[in-house]
Structure 1
């Protein structure tokens, strides 16, 4: 039987890729069921696409969903995974090393497969919209300095001397749901190691604590750059691995401050739903 889904991860941040032609339709209940790690396939989110048959030279559209059933405008890791999925599934121009655009709810995004064998993908994340730098915020009885920005998703970057998964799990939901962010926000706890290296712990508004996040790595690098803490090229380390972020501070290849992200993704498996589970997805 033809595969109904593919499972990918990017540095431990895992997604299920589902073709719109199958039984799964992305209602909030169906997304939550498919992402459930006990009763479903299990994932941090869903990549639903391509929405139309891919045509060389035209943007390839997809929809992205968080594990809580909400739709995500743009996921850096998700884009790398989907680009790799196109290359591995359709071959041709998508696997040939030339750049091509993906169409998201936040706009078109340029991607390029740098090395198909290792799953190395480069993504142009555009120029973020920066808010107030080092805005004071109280959460969990602590006064924190937060830099908010939007790079297709909202983020709140919190520079600290020390970061840990436990801290992200404790303070992440308090900041994500803070009254300062009525639409909720993703949160990055940032430790700058030197001018070219940083580490982050991530709490995502739609998936909770996450091993890695591409848009979060870009947000943290952009905030650190705006604060004068890092140079134009930053290696961002997360529990799941490393993403290399470049900030075009001179505007030499596009808008000044535009961000490019490079990192790996990997296909884990292709699968077929059981008849019983497929029926649950259809009914959800």
Structure 2
């Protein structure tokens, strides 16, 4: 039995039994590792699993050295992460930023995101996002194009491509970074998965940059988690004549740092992370 199969069986069992994240972590800590768990409670789940999973899939428990340190410190960390692609090591880099925003950005939002994400990537700062249409995709593409590592945090299982038109993008992300999720293989995207995904996104980073978002955007959920986790929140202002920037203006009004250029981000963190900049 390998770690991935044990992780899937353990997670399936915990979901069926409605075992909380906190209790899952306790069970792992009590055993010492995933493979040290007594497999007998999970025999039914183990027997139903496929013999093989893709070779680039991994399961990382909160006890593992490569589990992201920032994420481990949030109030409700996932006991297990499922990943596809490379190592998680870059998520423990000195500085990691999440770039997020609207799924339907304006031409202004597109241009601003491309410019800022490019400048961040040129500093080789890891860029994470949610793999969604719009701003998320632009952020990932900038990292891929300019040589920065990137991770897409999914609201579904690793074997589900959502949105479906991002298959090529996700394949590129797997080659240069990784896909990451707390959801089991075979889990379809559902509306309630994305707030859960957003807490992971906020937990993985030092700062969240919102480049454009309307008041109905789920981006505010991520920004809210970021504030709860004492992450820095940055927002790009836009026109008062359009709804596209309403959330950014609200965030700035509530204390987010206004961003006009990469310098506004670097100035906040350069004293803490001189080696990064």
User: Is TM-score (shorter-chain normalized) higher than 0.5?
Assistant: no
Give the structure with the higher percent helix.
2
TM-score normalised over the length of structure 2? 0.32
Give the structure with the higher percent strand.
1
RCO greater where, 1 or 2, for CA within 8 Å and sep 6 or more?
1
